[in-house]
């Protein structure tokens, strides 16, 4: 076994090694475990390896029991799971926030932030960053871009406001939007590098501004910082943009073909989803080859290897190559919360603790399967309730 | 054991301590356990559990006191156990000492701790961060070339063969693995690494079925797919429209030819013209680039046959046929088919329109105006059919307009404005086409030279992403224009754009990069102050590109203009390194610059060394070539340089070479030799000079004779000899010829 492992290691690129760091004892330990579990060998968590081998399993204490005995210690676990749940409800919260705010005529200080800190949506964030990047790089296009990128959010906000008010909804909405547009045009005309955020606060400056109590949850400093950076740079480059504008008149201003209509182009036509044809695939390949350059340094080469799957993925941890629908390790390990319906003491409890202990060390089952496993025992004991009663054991 | 973080030890302690509460526990882990019980606990787990561990510190202290004696009672198989235990005590002590406030604050302290959100990183985020810290090493060859020191290329030629060798090695290995997959089945990687395993290119389904056809299409087996299709038809099976369409895709894309093995790199390298290809050539090679060089559409080929056989055809069938025809240069058929498509009341997609636009432009025997009107007509049809144009539509138009020369300029600008107006952001290729149209070689002078400034103003500071296959040609053509306009400011702008964001990736393959940087550097040599130029020289060479000999000549001229000739020996060293040892034009330039003027003595010594080095290259060259040849100029220059540095011996040897190779020394050189002879007051040497001059029947002979008579104390014999020589030179050629043969 040791031979096999040492045969594996040199063939790997170097960065796979750290997993086996830890000196000779660790290697020896790994080897023993490798020998213990037949078939497919996974490195990801050595603790998990001892599923089938009881003789190894017994060397590990019943670690999970601590959390059972000490209630306050299991709190973090629950907190974590609750928090993930609460993320889902943030979206609703923001909407509710908005409603509350409008009803009490209290407006949160930075509306933009409320909008941008919807549930941590990666895609949206990226698009925001992209927008910011464009703002920095292409100031002459900025006003148009900004109205494009911000307006869906604005419209959403406005319609939420309109919904909450008892008056005619369409009117309210359009009034709000008109005010926003008006202001955007003003700020563009002034060309003083006004930040979009400021323009926002101007709009709502007539209203009473107060910090909402619930705002703490929804505003995350990270987002705010990103946004601020973007608008700062934007202000600085306005002047040069003016200069460029005057210069480029001659080529981009003038008669055009006047064949296509902007409206017709931009309107969304529902396109039938079809699998990419050979033409599409080959075109994509061509495009990919356009900016293909030799590696600039060793790290870029490692990036390539990572993408090809030849390297361990950074950051290196015990979960490499382990994917269970994104469930975290603690969901695998801390299974005590599923024992709530079992008796607090007695042989069934003891038995179930052993079961969860075993399950928590099993890397081959998904979290769902583990829960099902416990459920099965629950049903089993439920069915045998009569027998249990006879032997004076209570199961509720 | 020592690698364990203290928290882990804490936890493991608590584990064993706790297990005592259970009547029939699994035996608690003993400390010396070789399984490394602590390691079994994932490190990340330890991090998470750290707080819990800290909170239970007080409790643990009590428990541990109980548990450790218990452990020591156990039979411990490992010798290292005592030290381990001591270690644990020590670590535990420090841990609890570090956390007194937790103990004091009790449980309430825990609630204030906010667990930070877990950040999920992209798998390459760490590497990207690290990569961004590495800058280019200006003193070394690019990273891609770093290898065994013997193999690191030092010239553009070598670098090319280096890359080709590396790539073809990879390809060869891949070829062997893929053609003999059965020998490469051993999968030693754990977890499995798919990209190291052989790919299957042979169809696995043997029977005749639509699934088999699909598989062959997927594997891009053109002939096998057609055969399978025919067999299916003969068997009376109807093939679904979808599968037939994908078969048509395959046939049309490859023009009914088997695609050559998919090794892009080699293909591209071969099809690209070598250095400094003209734009037109480049264009042609590009068009043909790809696996099927020069494949043309044959009438009645399999694609057409299958298309005709199809019982029902949808828009896709027509579209793919049209695109295939245009791709393989059958514009007339493509246009006919397009009419047929319209007659069948089907709609073409935008790609097909792009292809048809190209077909219209490819039509021969039509005037530019006619073609342009046809293209406009097509665009109007697009509007009528509610087909949205894309970037490729406009790029295709501009690409075609390039061939219209001056006629294409106005339409091109209108097209560009149309693009902007409907919100399609031009790509680098768009600008590339416009630059090409406005700065074609012959008309660069009268072309509107402002276009490039407008374009640069527009694109400055933008970051581009690849959108068109021609995107990588922009920088080359922009730099070409800068160089022809002799506008350094503009060149700096272009270079600035290149270094914005990831734009540098658009510089294209090796030859384009070399072209770009040679032009840029030549412009620097021409326009920039010498110090700045030298800074660029150090920065760019050799870490970005290896200079051509012309680039170095430009640099030499810049040095000449700036009167910095003392750097020439260094430049010669560099040129040797970059593989220009045998470039006679470069060597001649170097020698000429060194020999032209008198310099301070120490510089003359350095120059003489350099000259000696260059001389040796000529001699080596002689050995390499069958017909040894010394051009006259270098001989002159080297001799002069030797004389000026006081290396008289070698200089006189050079004079021998003149005789040997039958080259005529210059008058100035002979005068300098005379000076040298006078300086050493050696009448023999002076006689030698006169002899040589007379041997070549040079007109200077007489004046030299006079100088000898006047300046040297000549003996009677020598006087006579001199008289003979002058007589000979004024005499006939035959004598001088015989004299030369004597000399030889």
Q: What is the pLDDT of residues B24-42, one digit of tens each?
A: 333 343 333 333 333 333 3
Asked if B369 and B380 touch (Cβ cutoff 8 Å), the reply is no
Q: Which pLDDT value is given to residue B50?
A: 41
- Say if B41 is an interface residue toward chain A (CB within 8 Å): yes
- What lies within 8 Å, CB to CB, of A171 at 6+ separation is none
Q: Which of A267-281, A360-374, B156-170, B241-255 has the lowest mean pLDDT?
A: A267-281
Give, in order, the Cα–Cα distances in Å from A188 to each of A137, A234, A236, B459: 17, 12, 15, 22
Let me know how long chain A is: 396
Residues B198 and B224 sit within 8 Å (Cβ to Cβ): no
Mean pLDDT, all residues of chain B: 78
Question: B136 pLDDT exceeds 60?
Answer: yes
With helix as H, strand as E and coil as C, how does B380-394 read? HHHHHCCCCCCHHHH
> 3-class SS at A208?
strand
Are A56 and B35 in contact by the 8 Å Cβ rule? The answer is yes
Among B649, B709, B631, B696, CA closest to B670:
B696
Q: Which residue of B lies nearest to A253 if distances are taken between CA atoms?
A: B417
Which 8-state DSSP code applies to residue B663? -
Confidence of residue A388 (pLDDT cuts 50, 70, 90): confident
Q: How far apart are CA A57 and CA A358, in angstroms?
A: 8
Return residues 131-160 of A near B (CB < 8 Å). Answer: 133, 137-138
* Interchain pair A266, B23: CB under 8 A: no
Taking contacts as CB-CB distances below 8 angstroms, the residues of chain A near B507 are 293
Q: How many CA atoms lie within 13 A of B333 on its CB side?
A: 21
Q: Quick check: bond before B542 cis, omega within 30?
A: yes
The whole-number pLDDT of residue A211 equals: 39
Extract the tokens encoding B76.
């411990």
pLDDT band (50, 70, 90) for residue A183: low
Residue B281's pLDDT is 42
Kind of pairing between the strands at A208-209 and A106-107: parallel
Question: Are the Cβ atoms of B144 and A248 closer than 8 angstroms?
Answer: no
Question: Is the CB of A259 less than 8 angstroms away from the CB of B418?
Answer: yes
A300–chain B Cβ distance below 8 A for any pair: yes
Q: How would residue A189 be classed by pLDDT, with cut points 50, 70 and 90? A: low
Cα within 13 Å of Cα(B483), Cβ side: 19
Choose between A379 and A43: higher pLDDT: A379
- Over the stretch B477-501, which tens digit does the pLDDT of each residue have? 999 999 988 899 999 999 999 999 8
A382 close contact with B: CB closer than 8 A: no
Task: Check residue B72 and give its pLDDT.
Answer: 40
Q: Of all helices (H) and strands (E), which one includes residue B556?
A: helix B549-561
pLDDT at B127 over 70: yes
Q: What is the mean pLDDT of residues A66-93?
A: 46
Q: Spell out the residues 6+ positions from residue B535 whose beta carbon is closer than 8 angstroms to its own.
A: none
pLDDT digits 0-9 by tens, A102-159: 555 443 343 344 343 334 444 444 444 444 444 444 444 434 444 444 455 555 655 6
- Using DSSP's 3-state secondary structure scheme, residue B238 falls into coil
pLDDT at B692: 83
Residue A166 forms contact with B (CB below 8 Å): no
Residue A174 binned pLDDT confidence (cut-offs 50, 70, 90): low
Report chain A's mean pLDDT, rounded to a whole number.
59
> Which has the higher per-residue pLDDT, A137 or B683?
B683
Judge: A62–B15 Cβ closer than 8 Å, yes or no.
yes
Q: Rounded to a whole number, what is the largest CA-CA distance in chain A? A: 98
Q: Tell me the nearest-neighbour CA distance from A252 into chain B, angstroms.
A: 6
Confidence of residue A237 (pLDDT cuts 50, 70, 90): very low
- DSSP annotation of B211 reads H
User: How far apart are the CA of A167 and the nearest CA of chain B, in angstroms?
Assistant: 38
B146-to-A285, B153, B534 alpha-carbon distances in Å:
28, 9, 25
The whole-angstrom separation of Cα B346 and Cα B338 is 10
Cα-trace Rg, chain A: 30
- Asked if the peptide bond before residue B191 counts as cis, ω within 30 degrees of 0, the response is yes
Binary contact (A317, B42; C-beta < 8 A): yes
Task: Confirm or reject contact between B453 and chain A (CB < 8 A).
Answer: yes
Cβ neighbours for B716, distance < 8 A, ≥ 6 positions apart: none
A164 neighbors A99 (Cβ within 8 angstroms):
yes
Please state, in angstroms and as integers, the Cα–Cα distance from residue A316 to each residue in A19, A164, B89, following that order: 8, 49, 30
Q: Which two structure tokens, joined as six digits, stand for B70?
A: 């218990």
- C-beta neighbour count of A177 within 10 angstroms: 17
Going by C-alpha positions, the residue among B614, B649, B646 that lies closest to residue B630 is: B614
Whether A251 shows a pLDDT value over 70: the answer reads: yes
CA distance B417 to chain A (A): 5
Q: Is B311 on the interface with A (CB under 8 A)?
A: no
DSSP B507: G
Contact A58, B26 (CB under 8 A): yes
Tokens of B157: 């030629």
Q: What is the pTM for the complete model shown?
A: 0.64
Is A259 in contact with B377 (CB distance < 8 Å)? no
Tell me the DSSP string of B131-186.
HTTPPP-TTS--GGG-SSTTT---SHHHHHHHHHHHHHHHHHHHHHHHH-GGGG--
- Region A80-85 average pLDDT: 44
């Amino acid at each position: 076994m040791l031979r096999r492992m040492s045969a594996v290691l040199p063939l790997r690129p170097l960065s796979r090694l750290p997993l086996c760091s830890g000196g000779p004892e660790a290697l020896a330990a790994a080897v023993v475990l490798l020998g213990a579990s037949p078939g497919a060998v996974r490195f990801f968590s050595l603790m998990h390896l001892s599923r089938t081998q009881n003789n190894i399993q017994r060397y590990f204490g019943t670690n999970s029991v601590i959390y059972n005995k000490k209630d306050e210690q299991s709190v973090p676990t629950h907190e974590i799971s609750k928090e993930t749940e609460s993320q889902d409800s943030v979206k609703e919260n923001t909407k509710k926030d908005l409603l509350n705010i409008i009803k009490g005529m209290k407006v949160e200080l930075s509306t933009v932030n409320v909008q941008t800190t919807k549930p941590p949506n990666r895609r949206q964030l990226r698009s925001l960053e992209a927008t910011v990047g464009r703002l920095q790089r292409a100031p002459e296009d900025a006003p148009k871009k900004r109205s494009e990128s911000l307006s869906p959010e604005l419209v959403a906000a406005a319609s939420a406001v309109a919904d909450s008010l008892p008056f005619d909804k369409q009117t309210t909405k359009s009034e709000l939007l008109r005010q926003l547009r008006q202001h955007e045009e003003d700020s563009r005309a002034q060309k003083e590098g006004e930040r979009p955020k400021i323009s926002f606060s101007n709009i709502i400056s007539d209203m009473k501004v107060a910090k909402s109590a619930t705002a703490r949850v929804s505003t995350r400093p990270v987002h705010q910082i990103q946004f601020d950076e973007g608008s700062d740079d934007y202000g600085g480059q306005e002047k040069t943009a003016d200069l460029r504008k005057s210069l480029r008149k001659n080529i981009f201003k003038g008669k055009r073909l006047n064949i296509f209509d902007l409206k017709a182009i931009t309107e969304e036509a529902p396109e039938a989803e079809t699998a990419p044809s050979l033409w599409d695939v080959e075109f994509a390949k061509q495009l990919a080859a356009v900016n293909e350059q030799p590696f600039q340094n060793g790290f870029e080469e490692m990036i390539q290897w990572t993408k090809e799957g030849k390297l361990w993925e950074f950051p290196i941890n015990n979960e490499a190559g382990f994917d269970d629908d994104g469930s975290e390790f603690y969901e695998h390990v801390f299974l005590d919360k599923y024992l709530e319906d079992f008796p607090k003491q007695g042989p069934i409890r003891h038995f179930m603790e052993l079961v969860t202990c075993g399950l928590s060390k099993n890397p081959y089952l998904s979290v769902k399967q583990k829960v099902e496993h416990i459920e099965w025992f629950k049903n089993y004991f439920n069915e045998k309730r009569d027998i249990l009663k006879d032997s004076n054991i209570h199961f509720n | 054991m020592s690698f364990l973080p203290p928290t882990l030890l804490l936890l493991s302690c608590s584990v064993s301590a706790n297990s005592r509460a259970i009547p029939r526990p699994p035996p608690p882990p003993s400390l010396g356990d070789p399984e490394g019980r602590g390691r079994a606990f994932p490190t990340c787990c330890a991090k998470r559990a750290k707080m819990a561990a800290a909170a239970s510190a007080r409790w643990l202290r009590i428990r541990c006191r109980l548990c450790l004696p218990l452990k020591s009672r156990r039979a411990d198989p490992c010798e290292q156990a005592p030290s381990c235990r001591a270690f644990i005590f020590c670590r535990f002590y420090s841990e609890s000492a570090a956390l007194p406030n937790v103990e004091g604050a009790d449980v309430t302290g825990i609630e204030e701790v906010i667990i930070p959100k877990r950040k999920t990183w992209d798998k390459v985020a760490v590497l990207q961060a690290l990569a961004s810290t590495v800058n280019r090493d200006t003193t070394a060859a690019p990273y891609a070339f770093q290898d065994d020191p013997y193999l690191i290329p030092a010239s553009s030629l070598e670098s090319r063969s280096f890359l080709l060798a590396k790539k073809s090695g990879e390809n060869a290995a891949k070829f062997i693995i893929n053609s003999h997959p059965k020998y490469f089945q051993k999968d030693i990687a754990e977890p499995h690494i798919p990209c190291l395993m052989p790919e299957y290119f042979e169809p696995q389904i043997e029977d005749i079925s639509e699934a088999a056809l699909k598989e062959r299409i997927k594997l891009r087996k053109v002939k096998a797919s057609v055969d399978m299709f025919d067999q299916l038809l003969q068997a009376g099976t109807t093939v679904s429209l979808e599968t037939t369409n994908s078969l048509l895709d395959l046939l049309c894309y490859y023009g009914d030819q088997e695609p050559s093995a998919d090794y892009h790199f080699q293909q591209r390298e071969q099809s690209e013209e070598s250095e400094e290809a003209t734009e037109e050539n480049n264009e042609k090679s590009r068009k043909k680039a790809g696996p099927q060089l020069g494949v043309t559409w044959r009438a009645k080929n399999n694609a057409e046959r299958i298309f005709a056989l199809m019982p029902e055809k949808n828009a896709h069938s027509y579209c793919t046929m049209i695109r295939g025809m245009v791709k393989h240069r059958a514009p007339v058929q493509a246009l006919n088919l397009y009419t047929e498509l319209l007659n069948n009341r089907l709609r073409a997609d935008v790609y097909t329109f792009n292809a048809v636009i190209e077909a219209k432009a490819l039509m021969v025997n039509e005037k530019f105006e006619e073609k342009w009107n046809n293209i406009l007509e097509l665009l109007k049809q697009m509007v009528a059919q509610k087909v949205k144009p894309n970037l490729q539509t406009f790029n295709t138009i501009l690409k075609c307009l390039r061939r219209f020369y001056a006629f294409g300029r106005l339409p091109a600008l209108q097209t560009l404005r149309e693009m902007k107006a409907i919100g399609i952001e031009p790509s680098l290729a768009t600008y590339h086409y416009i630059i090409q149209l406005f700065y074609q070689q012959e008309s660069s002078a009268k072309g509107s030279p402002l276009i490039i400034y407008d374009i640069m103003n527009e694109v400055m500071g933008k970051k581009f992403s690849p959108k068109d296959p021609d995107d990588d040609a922009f920088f080359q053509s922009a730099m070409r224009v800068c160089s022809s306009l002799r506008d350094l400011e503009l060149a700096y702008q272009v270079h600035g754009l290149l270094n914005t964001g990831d734009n540098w990736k658009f510089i294209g393959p090796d030859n384009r990069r070399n072209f770009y940087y040679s032009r840029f550097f030549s412009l620097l040599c021409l326009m920039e102050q010498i110090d700045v130029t030298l800074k660029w020289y150090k920065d760019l060479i050799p870490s970005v590109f290896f200079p051509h000999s012309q680039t170095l000549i430009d640099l030499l001229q810049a040095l000449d203009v700036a009167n910095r000739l003392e750097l020439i020996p260094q430049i010669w060293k560099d040129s040797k390194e970059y593989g220009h040892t045998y470039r006679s034009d470069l060597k001649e330039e170097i020698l000429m610059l060194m020999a032209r003027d008198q310099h301070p003595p120490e510089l003359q010594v350095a120059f003489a060394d350099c000259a000696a080095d260059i001389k040796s290259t000529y001699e080596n060259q002689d050995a390499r070539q069958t017909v040894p040849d010394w051009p006259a100029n270098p001989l002159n220059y080297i001799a002069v340089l030797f004389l000026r540095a006081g290396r008289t011996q070698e200089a006189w040897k050079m004079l021998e070479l003149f005789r040997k190779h039958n080259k005529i020394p210059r008058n100035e050189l002979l005068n300098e030799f005379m000076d040298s002879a006078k300086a050493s007051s050696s009448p023999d040497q002076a006689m030698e000079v006169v002899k040589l001059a007379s041997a070549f029947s040079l007109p200077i002979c007489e004046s030299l004779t006079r100088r000898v008579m006047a300046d040297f104390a000549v003996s009677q014999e020598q006087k006579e000899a001199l008289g003979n020589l002058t007589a000979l030179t004024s005499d006939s050629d035959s004598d001088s010829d015989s004299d030369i043969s004597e000399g030889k």
